[in-house]
Structure 1
């Protein structure tokens, strides 16, 4: 199958080479970048199904996300995090931008936070994973949220 779209290649001074999968280790930095530059970010998108009986509760808990969870997300170099809901299908669509240098390491830090794991247990109970064999968010692989492919982006 041919690739329908691929992003424009940035100038060499801004080049970051994405890993082969969302779970691959971080981003390889171009030798032309100084260590003081921040990664421009890699966008992620993923889906999971929200159980219909928990729609209101899911929205309620996300209207007041625990401060410890929000702080850990920020410390793990995640920015522009959004979750959308399609009431017709029950699908939750999440997107975020990762701006760090070690995605795997940052995700491990996320999993090490007891409040984040507690949050995941709460919110996972409202959801059904679309990934065969997924047990929960805490387990890691296979992922609870199903990664989806980006086919178009207009900055």
Structure 2
């Protein structure tokens, strides 16, 4: 299993819409997340920042993420929520959500 922590900024005017969308995701979004071997997926907010944590339990992360990105429902979902977010200024090239380094873990 691989654990991920990621951060991004939410636009101040976008937080309430972001919360609303996630309170009632489009049908098929949660199912695709699970189908792509992600579990324990959580999103937290603090001020202008969003933090997500998830675990990947598959055997080909890149393939599963490509499958998710090719899914029409996921693309529709991203069209709704991506405009509400703003990538971090110090993100790596190609990142939307910025990966974080795991410093400590205790089961």
| Alignment: residue pair count | 107
**Partner residue, 1:67:** 27
Matched, 1:98 2:56: yes
Task: Report the Cα distance in structure 2 between the residues aligned to 1:50 and 1:102, rounded to whole angstroms.
Answer: 29
Shift of 1:133: 7.8
Alpha-carbon offset, residue 53 of structure 1: 0.7
Query: For structure 1, which runs of at least 5 residues remain unmatched after alignment?
Result: 1-40, 135-140
Please say if residues 131 and 144 of structure 1, whose CA atoms lie closer than 8 Å, have aligned partners that are also in contact.
Answer: no
Q: Aligned to 2:28, what secondary structure does the other structure show?
A: helix
Q: Give the SS at the match of 1:67.
A: coil
Q: What do you get for the CA RMSD once the two structures are aligned?
A: 1.6
Deviation at 1:67, TM superposition (A): 2.4
In structure 2, runs of 5+ residues without a counterpart are: none
Q: Which has the higher contact order (CA 8 A, sep 6+)?
A: 2
Match of 1:150 in 2: 102
After superposing the two structures, state which structure 1 stretch, 145-154 or 122-131, moved more: 122-131
Higher strand share: 2
| Secondary structure, aligned partner of 1:62 | helix
Give the conservation status (yes or no) of the 8 Å contact 2:91–2:98.
no
Residue aligning to 1:123: 81
**1:131–1:143 Cα contact (<8 Å) kept:** no
Q: Which runs of 4+ in 1 moved over 3 A?
A: 131-134
Any idea what SS the aligned residue of 2:9 has? strand
User: Greater share of helix residues, 1 or 2?
Assistant: 2
1:132, CA displacement in angstroms? 5.8
Task: Determine which structure has more spread, i.e. the larger CA radius of gyration.
Answer: 1
How much has 1:131 moved relative to structure 2?
5.4
Q: TM-score, normalised by structure 2?
A: 0.93
Shift of 1:101: 0.2
